Structure 1
Amino acid sequence: MKGEFKTLVSFGLQKQTFAFDSLMVRNILAFEDNITKVPNSRDFILGVINLHGIIIPVTDMRRMMNLDEQETTQDTAIIIVSPEDKIESQFGIVVDIVKEVFEVKTENIMPSVYQNKMGLIESFVGAVEEKGELVHLIDLLHVVSQIDSKN
């Protein structure tokens, strides 16, 4: 639809930039080692955290995408998202750095041709150029389906 805007939150994983709809973001936390491991969980699920009395699973987006491990730095963050706008659908995503919030005209979103190393994230809703950089837009509902499947 012409003239409509979408507000996105961008983040870095290694040297690549990704984003998703800011309306799905509930919180952004500094990364802390207070994640409780969950036995027999998938390798990309780091564990759970207690956020204001709500137990939230935390995933490592790098592992989901089959990217190399990175050291945790002061920029490492956990983005708490809720793709279905329900408390029980919240989960955390560990990213290397939260970059910025920006608006993009929906007509400027291009089809995505992102290829990864056979990672679990296969569905992108497109890509957009922001400040001379290609930003891949992640479909969070697809991420949820990957977390829920093959448990």
Structure 2
Amino acid sequence: MEGDFITLISFNLGDQVYAFDSLQVRNILPYEEGNVAKVPNTKDFILGVINLHGNIVPVTDLRIIMKIADWKNSKDTSIIVVSPEDKLESQFGIVVDLVKEVFEVENDRIMPPSFQKGIGLIESFEGTVQEKDEFVHMIDLMHVINQIESKNV
């Protein structure tokens, strides 16, 4: 429907810009390795857990899940705590290189993914939008969660 819009939060993973629905974001925290407690026998993309207001929140590294090469943590590395189902027990943290901005985009500006299905993480994307002078790839957070859960069995 024309005129409908979504509010996105954008962030960098490597040299690419990604975003998802900002209504799913609960907190944005600086990433400090000492604050993430390691959990034994977990997959490499599970960095550990943090205590957030008395809740144990698993922290995942989206850079590892998306096979982004040559990344390193910096002072801008952050944890975006999301809750896609709007429940405290469904919260989890996503490590990103840099949180950029929150912006609105009209739904009719979103270009659907044009890649063929079955060639990787394409099902994880809802589309791409051009914002200012860069392309922003919109991530389907529920699909990413399903991937995390299936890889963590």
Instruction: Using the aligned pairs only, state the percent identity.
Output: 64
More helix by share: 2
Q: Secondary structure in 2 aligned to 1:40?
A: coil
Contact 2:113 2:122 in 1 (8 A): no
Q: Secondary structure in 1 aligned to 2:145?
A: helix
Q: Which amino acid aligns with 1:64?
A: I
TM-score (norm 2): 0.92
Contact 1:62 1:95 in 2 (8 A): yes
Mapping of residues 46-125 of structure 1, within 5 Å: 46-113=47-114, 122-125=123-126
1:4: how far off? 0.7
Q: Show structure 1 runs of 5+ residues with no match.
A: none
Q: Secondary structure in 1 aligned to 2:43?
A: coil
1:146: how far off? 1.0
Cα 1:62–1:74 shift into 2, 3 Å: same
How many correspondences in the alignment? 149
Tell me the equivalent position of 2:16: 16
Q: Secondary structure in 1 aligned to 2:142?
A: helix
1:72: how far off? 1.2
Contact 1:66 1:119 in 2 (8 A): no
CA distance in 2, matches of 1:121, 1:38: 29
Q: Secondary structure in 1 aligned to 2:73?
A: coil
CA distance in 1, matches of 2:148, 2:15: 24
CA distance in 1, matches of 2:141, 2:78: 17
Summarize deviations over 1:85-135 as a string: whole Å, max 9, x none.
Answer: 1111100000000000000001111112469xx765742111100012110
What RMSD over aligned residues (CA atoms) do the two structures have, in Å?
A: 1.6
Q: Secondary structure in 1 aligned to 2:111?
A: coil
CA distance in 2, matches of 1:39, 1:139: 28
Cα 1:39–1:90 shift into 2, 3 Å: same
Q: Which amino acid aligns with 1:82?
A: S
Point out 4+ residue stretches in structure 1 off by more than 3 angstroms. 118-122
Tell me the equivalent position of 1:6: 6
1:148: how far off? 1.1
Q: Secondary structure in 2 aligned to 1:112?
A: coil
TM-score (norm 1): 0.93
